[in-house]
Amino acid sequence: MTDPALQLIHTPRSHFARKVRLLLDGLGIEAELIDAVNAADPDPARFGPNPLLKVPTLIDHGRPVFESDHIAMHLVRTRDPDDRFDVLTADVDVLNARAVLNGVMALEVELILGARSGLDTAQPRFAKMREAIERSLAWLESNASVFEGPVSYLGFHVLSMRDHVALYDLVPLDYPRLQACADGIARLPFTESSKPV
């Protein structure tokens, strides 16, 4: 049953929100999903209490939590004392991989929402962003040993990023080790319901 005390403002295609949804689903925590519909929309009302006008935002008994990784940490600290998906890790290799994955996702947002807002994404600033995405994916591929081991929040980043890049077809996804990690996570029974379409 959905817990009315816990709400997640998201969009169905948001990869940052999907990391959180995978964590919620993996932990068996029900939350009411509130669809902001279009992350590029300038209307502040879409984004609830978030002054950055971004998703996701978690609202826990009326208290907002901003930023996907802060939301994940909050959920674990309040509801998962065993930290089953290693959200609270201090492992530098894992944190670096998360930073690169989050960076790729942020660059994608700029390219997609830039185009949606009518900007010319052939400009050099956007070309640099595409270059950074490709270099980051290559970096992740050559550091893919970090993805070995039990299912973790890091894997939720990989699946969220991979499915989003595939959906928008921004760059080629010819990275077998990264794909294998994403495919492994995608086989978990709770991942399909949050897959972006």
Residues that bind ligand GSH (CB under 6 A): 14-16, 39-40, 53-56, 67-68, 106, 109, 113
CA distances from 154 to 89, 98, 145, 157 (A): 10, 6, 12, 5
Q: Return the number of the residue (68 or 194) whose C-beta is nearest ligand GSH.
A: 68
CB of 111 to ligand GSH, least distance (A): 11
Taking the complex as a whole, the smallest distance from the CB of residue 176 to ligand GSH amounts, in Å, to: 26
Task: Output the smallest distance, CB 1 to ligand GSH, in A.
Answer: 27
Of residues 9 and 144, the one with the C-beta less far from ligand GSH? 9
**CB-facing half-sphere around the CA of 54: CA atoms within 13 A:** 13
16 or 156, CB closer to ligand GSH? Answer: 16
Total Cβ atoms within 10 A of residue 104:
27
**CA-derived radius of gyration, the chain:** 16
Going by C-alpha positions, the residue among 168, 165, 164, 160 that lies closest to residue 185 is 160
Greatest CA span in the chain, whole angstroms?
49
Q: Is 172 left (phi over 0), alpha (psi -120 to 50) or beta?
A: beta
Closest separation in Å from C-beta 36 to ligand GSH: 7
Token couple for 93: 């290799």
**Looking at beta carbons only, is 110 or 184 nearer to ligand GSH?**
110
Closer of 104 and 181 to ligand GSH (Cβ): 104
Taking the complex as a whole, the smallest distance from the CB of residue 42 to ligand GSH amounts, in Å, to: 8
